[in-house]
């Protein structure tokens, strides 16, 4: 039986533990999550092990990144299962703060990161990156981690966090984690649990359409229009975007673009599915 993972719920206990590790010369890594852990999260833990000696996994369903109509109340909360998975994989600490530990009474601050936060996810979820930025900045401050990892599945989020660290001189190094996929290519996500059997089949078609977009020889507007038509044909009920962008800034590619990224967000009813990959 693996040893049960230690759980800490307050900033002061967290600070004590991290100070002890740092005195012992350990490099501390953070994997920020909202719980409902799947193989994708566990692979982030595994990847970060080669960048840090001690791994903290935070589990906090962050209210400020949900709009009023979104799934904050129904978002899957599976603490016992999450901790069992983290124990098996050998993470060192689960940090599971209450809402008051992150947002104490009277909390009145916001954090807006510009640049890559413009457009794409922000068009559908204007509140989202401000909520992510404030909670991630707080988690960095609270844990004092030396390094943290974010999955490429939320590619725009990864770029926003990197921008925050650069613009605000946060002393932490950011590692990116590869997208982990199901056998049919569907990117793993806690929200995949919402899919019915029928919708799961439709969802499995997303990655093939993204792969064609990323490798298309057509001019970008034409390739994007084809991807959008293919998504509708495949059963997606709405397409938020199917686009090729500059991989570093998420602006439309131009002569200065060094690398391109294909990104798709498509919906089945009110479930939004995200995927992305490097483009030609």
Question: Tokens at residue 165, please?
Answer: 């660290």
Q: Which is nearer to ligand PAF, 189 or 243 (CB)?
A: 189
> Taking CB under 6 A as the rule, does residue 135 contact ligand PAF?
yes
Residue span binding ligand PAF (CB under 6 A) among the ranges 44-52, 108-116, 129-137, 228-236: 129-137
Residues in the chain: 280
Q: Which is nearer to ligand PAF, 157 or 207 (CB)?
A: 157
Q: Shortest distance, CB of residue 195 to ligand PAF, whole angstroms?
A: 18
* Member of 62, 117, 189, 199 binding ligand PAF (CB under 6 A): 62
Q: Are 58 and 33 in contact (CB under 8 A)?
A: yes
Burial of residue 270 (CB within 10 Å: 0-12, 13-18, 19+) is exposed
Residue span binding ligand PAF (CB under 6 A) among the ranges 27-35, 108-116, 252-260, 267-275: 27-35
Residue of 41, 112, 118, 127 marked active site: 41
* Member of 29, 32, 97, 177 binding ligand PAF (CB under 6 A): 32
Q: What is the DSSP letter of 173?
A: E
Question: Tokens at residue 52, please?
Answer: 């840090």
Whether 38 is catalytic is no
Close Cβ partners of 228 (under 8 Å, ≥ 6 residues apart): 239, 242
Helix axes 155-167, 128-143, angle to 10 degrees: 60
Q: Shortest distance, CB of residue 220 to ligand PAF, whole angstroms?
A: 28
Q: Determine the 3-state secondary structure of 96 from DSSP.
A: coil
Q: Shortest distance, CB of residue 225 to ligand PAF, whole angstroms?
A: 30
The C-alpha R_g of the chain, in whole angstroms, comes to: 19
**271-279, strands of its sheet edge to edge:** 238-246, 260-268, 271-279
Q: Shortest distance, CB of residue 70 to ligand PAF, whole angstroms?
A: 12
Burial of residue 145 (CB within 10 Å: 0-12, 13-18, 19+) is buried
> Taking CB under 6 A as the rule, does residue 132 contact ligand PAF?
yes
Ranges within 71-100 binding ligand PAF (CB under 6 A):
none
Q: Shortest distance, CB of residue 267 to ligand PAF, whole angstroms?
A: 19
* Member of 34, 83, 149, 158 binding ligand PAF (CB under 6 A): 34
Q: Are 99 and 63 in contact (CB under 8 A)?
A: yes
Q: Determine the 3-state secondary structure of 32 from DSSP.
A: strand
Question: Tokens at residue 113, please?
Answer: 């990161």
> Taking CB under 6 A as the rule, does residue 154 contact ligand PAF?
yes
* Member of 136, 180, 214, 227 binding ligand PAF (CB under 6 A): 136
Q: Determine the 3-state secondary structure of 11 from DSSP.
A: helix
Residue span binding ligand PAF (CB under 6 A) among the ranges 32-40, 84-92, 234-242, 258-266: 32-40
> Taking CB under 6 A as the rule, does residue 43 contact ligand PAF?
no
Which residues are marked as active site? 41
Question: What residues line the site for ligand PAF (CB under 6 A)?
Answer: 32-34, 62, 65, 132, 135-136, 154, 157
């Amino acid at each position: 039986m693996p040893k049960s993972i230690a759980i800490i719920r307050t900033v002061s206990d967290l600070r004590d533990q991290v100070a002890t590790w740092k005195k012992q010369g350990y490099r501390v890594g953070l994997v920020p999550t909202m719980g409902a852990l799947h193989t994708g999260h566990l692979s982030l833990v595994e990847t970060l092990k080669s960048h840090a000696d001690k791994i903290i996994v935070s589990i906090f369903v962050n209210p400020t990144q949900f709009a009023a109509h979104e799934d904050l109340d129904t978002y899957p909360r599976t603490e016992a299962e999450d901790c069992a998975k983290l124990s098996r994989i050998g993470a060192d600490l689960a940090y599971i703060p209450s809402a008051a530990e992150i947002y104490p009474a009277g909390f009145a601050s916001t954090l807006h990161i510009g640049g890559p936060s413009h457009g794409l996810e922000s068009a559908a979820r204007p509140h989202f990156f401000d909520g992510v930025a404030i909670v991630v900045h707080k988690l960095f401050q609270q844990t004092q981690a030396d390094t943290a990892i974010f999955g490429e599945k939320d590619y725009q989020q990864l770029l926003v966090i990197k921008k925050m660290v650069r613009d605000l001189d946060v002393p932490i190094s950011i590692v990116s984690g590869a997208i982990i996929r199901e056998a049919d290519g569907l990117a793993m996500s806690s929200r995949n649990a919402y899919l019915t059997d029928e919708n799961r089949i439709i969802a499995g078609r997303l990655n093939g359409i993204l792969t064609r977009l990323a490798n298309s020889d057509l001019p970008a507007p034409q390739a994007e229009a084809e991807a959008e038509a293919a998504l509708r044909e495949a059963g997606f009920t709405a397409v938020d975007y199917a686009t090729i962008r500059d991989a570093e800034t998420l602006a439309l590619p131009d002569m200065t673009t060094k690398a391109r990224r294909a990104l798709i967000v498509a919906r089945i009813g009110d479930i939004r599915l995200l995927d992305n990959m490097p483009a030609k």
